[in-house]
Amino acid sequence: MGKYSHLLLPRIVSTEPSKQDKVNLEKAKILEELKGVTTAASLAARYAEARKKKDALKSKLSALEVEVEASKQLLIEKYDEDDIDSLRLSNDDTIRVQLEPYLVIESPTRFRKWCVENGWEESLQLPWATANSLAKALLLKGKPEPEGTRAYFLTKAVYSPGGKSHTEDEES
């Protein structure tokens, strides 16, 4: 089952409790549609179809996000050129632009020092993905997870269209 299968960790469900109610309703709907035929193959095929739909939507969304960004940049350039910051359309929609501060951290070391000196030390933490990678590396070396953390097994489904592997949470 993978490079971590030798580890003895409890399993965890990754779905947030608030979302799990919706997931349970969808599971019931799927089971009804499958009319009780719940073989591994029928459920794998259902999962593959859902992933294909999701991947197609993600592709369309990605293209749309590029279109929105291009439109926004052109709009900002034109508003600047015309010296306006708001415009009401014939359908009564209003499109406005506004400036607001946006922080770029140029020296993480100096910023961390500033945070500690100004009482923000408790708010400093590694990004979850970094902490998770660190814990995985430690566990593979036979060492315990970092203090203050607890490792669990999260079972993932891996979808491989045409031989390519995609995990369920991968951003493509």
Q: What is the DSSP letter of 162?
A: G
The pLDDT assigned to 170 comes to 54
Does 150 fall in a domain? no
Block residue for tokens 């990754």: 14
* 111 plus 52 within the same structural domain: no
pLDDT surpasses 80 at 171: no
pLDDT surpasses 50 at 172: no
Q: How many CA atoms lie within 13 A of 17 on its CB side?
A: 0
* 66 plus 107 within the same structural domain: no
pLDDT in tens, 93-134: 999 999 999 999 999 999 999 999 999 999 999 999 999 999
Of residues 14 and 144, the one with the higher pLDDT is 144
* 24 plus 78 within the same structural domain: yes
Range of the domain at 19: 11-100
* 64 plus 20 within the same structural domain: yes
* 91 plus 66 within the same structural domain: yes
Total domain count for the chain? 2
For residues 168 and 86, give the distance between their C-alpha atoms in angstroms, rounded to a whole number.
41
Does 63 fall in a domain? yes
Does 91 fall in a domain? yes
For residues 87 and 74, give the distance between their C-alpha atoms in angstroms, rounded to a whole number.
14
pLDDT surpasses 80 at 44: yes
pLDDT surpasses 80 at 81: yes
The pLDDT assigned to 103 comes to 93
* 26 plus 63 within the same structural domain: yes
For residues 31 and 72, give the distance between their C-alpha atoms in angstroms, rounded to a whole number.
44
